[in-house]
Amino acid sequence: MATIDLSPLYRSSVGFDRMASLLDSALRSDTGATGYPPYNIELVAENQYAITLAVAGFEDSDLEIEVENGVLRVTGKKAEENEKREFLHRGIANRAFERKFSLAEHIEVTGAALKNGLLTIGLVKNIPEAMKPKRISIGSSTKDLLEDRSKSKEESAA
């Protein structure tokens, strides 16, 4: 696999450390990683998402969900079976797993539910009011606009 040098990105940008480290980790990730358990990522509404993982055979006590530093981690570990069973074919995987999802800024986990072997995790994007676009009304008089600006400068100087 060809490697990509991201050092110019680190040298010429400020404040994009998270994006650069995400790119770096995605490019260095283990390509031999398994696809277990399979999952879907769904856009539910404009700022709502759902991640659904197929975790057949797992109880809610076998699963753990945690968010740390913008990474959602779902782990599953099956309790040891006490009874000895003989399988002719074993196609249902009950092996331990860990699945990680990188979350964008302002994405919060709202909850999780386990139903019919599917674990669904709800996510919502809460954009702070200061970051939302705001509409500026256009007035007809520039005189009032400039007078207000000079008054506020005088008040702040006093």
The domains of the chain are located at: 35-131
The residue ranges of DSSP E strands in the chain, in sequence order, are 39-45, 48-54, 63-68, 71-76, 97-102, 107-115, 118-125
Burial environment of residue 99 by CB neighbours within 10 A (0 to 12, 13 to 18, 19 or more): buried
Q: Sorting pLDDT into bands at 50, 70 and 90, what band is 78?
A: confident
CATH fold of 35-131 reads Immunoglobulin-like (2.60.40)
Which letter does DSSP use for residue 130 in this model?
G
Q: Sorting pLDDT into bands at 50, 70 and 90, what band is 146?
A: low
Instruction: Choose between 52 and 84: higher pLDDT.
Output: 52
**pLDDT for residue 31:** 47
Q: Sorting pLDDT into bands at 50, 70 and 90, what band is 158?
A: low
Q: How is residue 74 written in tokens?
A: 């779902």
Handedness of CA 140, 146, 152, 154 (dihedral sign): negative
The answer on pLDDT for 73 being more than 60 is: yes
- Mean pLDDT value of segment 55-73: 93
Distance CA 56, CA 40 (A): 15
Q: Residues with Cβ < 8 Å from 11, sequence gap 6 or more?
A: none
